[in-house]
Amino acid sequence: MTVSLLNNGASANAPATGGSITGNSASATSDMFTKLLVAQIKNQDPLSPTDPAQFVQQLTQLSQTESLQNLSSLTSSNASVLQSMQVLALGAQVGSDVMAETGTLTTDGSTKVQGQTTLAATSSTTHVVLTGIDGTKHSVNLGVAAAGTVPFTIDPTALGLPAGTYTMTVETSTKEHPPIDLQGRLNSVRLSSSGSVVLNIGNVGEVAPTAITAFNGKSSASAQSSL
């Protein structure tokens, strides 16, 4: 008899073709459970009736399951909305100059790149070291650098940097490993196959939105090119 109720419940509450199945599925599950519960009550052994507390417990479990399903659906919807809002907000900044924390530099071999590092303590000897894929190192001497933000400029021509990608580190007399921020143009914003937001920044490459440390606005050249 239970099997018959299961089949009837599923058939009666099957979602219409092309419609949303989330709400219908939850409704079908609830209706099916109610019918099974009524059948269980009708067909219990009169000489050994089921404890009513078990029925209440089953109803409570159903309610908790439905609540968790609704919460999961709501959380997923909110995450999708927030992600869409983030893409739209960042998309409005395409063409702007930004600062992004990175450990690599991508250069065309001629354009100067502005950057900065933040020191926790004063360093008597400070260098920004760039290492090519062949292991060759190039160094920018920053001299004595006080604690705080230390700006620098990477001139590929002066350093003899061929076009390509280089890893970057800051060497200090205090042996700390401070972060490096580079300035570049925000070229594009896209969603990856996994659904995460990916930014393409000139001089840096592709990074997550959390890598951006500052928005500097559009340069005059960028503003004119967008007209």
Q: Is residue 73 part of a domain?
A: no
Q: Nearest-CA neighbor of 115 among 103, 124, 125, 123?
A: 103
Q: What are 201-206's contacts with CB under 8 Å, separation 24+?
A: 201/98, 201/100, 202/106, 203/105, 203/106, 203/107, 203/111, 203/113, 204/100, 204/102, 204/104, 204/105, 204/106, 205/102, 205/104, 205/106, 205/165
Q: Is 58 in the same domain as 120?
A: no
Q: Is 218 in the same domain as 116?
A: yes
Tokens 């459970």 sit on residue: 33
Q: Is residue 85 part of a domain?
A: no
pLDDT at 185: 94
Question: Whole-model pTM?
Answer: 0.62
Q: Is residue 77 part of a domain?
A: no
Strand partners, 199: 189, 207
Q: Is residue 10 part of a domain?
A: yes
Which tokens hold the place of 155?
């001139």
pLDDT per residue of the chain (227 residues) written in tens, 0 to 9: 443 333 444 444 444 444 444 455 556 666 666 676 677 667 766 666 666 676 667 667 666 776 777 777 667 666 666 666 766 777 788 899 999 999 999 999 999 999 999 999 999 999 999 999 999 999 999 999 999 999 999 999 999 999 999 999 999 999 999 999 999 999 998 888 887 888 999 999 999 989 999 988 887 654 444 44
Q: Is residue 206 part of a domain?
A: yes
CA-to-CA distance for 14 and 6, rounded, in angstroms? 12
Q: Is 211 in the same domain as 134?
A: yes
Q: Is 146 in the same domain as 36?
A: no
Q: Is residue 87 part of a domain?
A: no
Query: Could you list the residue range(s) of the whole structural domain that residue 15 is in?
Result: 1-62
pLDDT at 14: 44
Tokens 């006080």 sit on residue: 146
CA-to-CA distance for 217 and 47, rounded, in angstroms? 81
Q: Is 134 in the same domain as 191?
A: yes
What's the total number of domains in the chain? 2
pLDDT at 197: 86
pLDDT at 25: 57
CA-to-CA distance for 179 and 175, rounded, in angstroms? 13
